[in-house]
Every structure is written in C-alpha cells, then in structure tokens.
Amino acid sequence: MSAAYTYDDENIFAKILQGDIPCKEVYRDEYALAFHDINPQAPTHILVIPTGKYVSIDDFGANASAEEVAGFFKAVSKVAEQEGLLENGFRSIANTGDHGGQEVPHFHVHLLGGAKVGPMVSKKAA
C-alpha cells in the first residue's frame, strides 16, 4: 500500500470483515463482501466492499492486484444480478474522500435500485 493511504483497521467495514460486527450479508467470495446498507436510500441498497485493506477507489486502483480488481468488479456484477437490479437498472456509487462524501475509510460501492433513484447529485450550496 502506498504511504499516501493509511488504512484504519478499526473502521466499521474492517470490523464487519473480521466478523466483529454482524451484517445482513448477500454475497461473499475471496474478493468481496456484499451486504445491505443499514440506512437504505433506495428499496435495494447494497454495499460491496473488497476483502483487502483499501481506503478508497483510487487506493484500490493504484494498489490492488489485477486479480483483486477483476474479482471485485465481477462480484459487483454478480450482486447486481442476484439482487434483481439488471432488468430496470441501478446506480453504483463510490464516494471518495471528504468532498466526495465518503463516510467509511474502506473502499466500497453502493448499489441502489428497485425504483428510480432521482437526480445524479443534489443541488446544494457550497
């Protein structure tokens, strides 16, 4: 891992991966864990996280192996299919950093579907 990225082993997703905090799991393999968000923003709101220690999407892209990257995104696709999101579409979001709204310092993708999810971003004053 690059010195620019400091992974916090105490973040909530690390604790979920370690089995210290339960989750409503929908998928797991060697590359990813997927589970229901505890504060859903759509009828279906699943979080997909890599099993490796990556802070953000840029950390993941820069430091994960090609096998980890491929395995993770294949898992995202499997989860979207498994959860019935392919027929009508869904939104995938990876918030990054403070300005991007990232709340947990472990790379994760939100899958939102089951209904129209609204505009791309809200119009808020800076």
Neighbour tally for 12: CB within 10 Å: 16
Q: Percentage helix, strand, coil, to 5, in the chain?
A: 25, 20, 55
Distance CA 116, CA 77 (A): 19
Catalytic-residue membership of 108: yes
Cα dihedral value 123, 121, 114, 91, nearest 10: 170
**36, 99, 106, 108: the active-site residue:** 108
| CA angle centred on 9, ends 44 and 71, rounded to 5° | 50
Give me the helices (H) in 5-109, please. 12-17, 57-63, 66-82
- Return the active site residues: 108
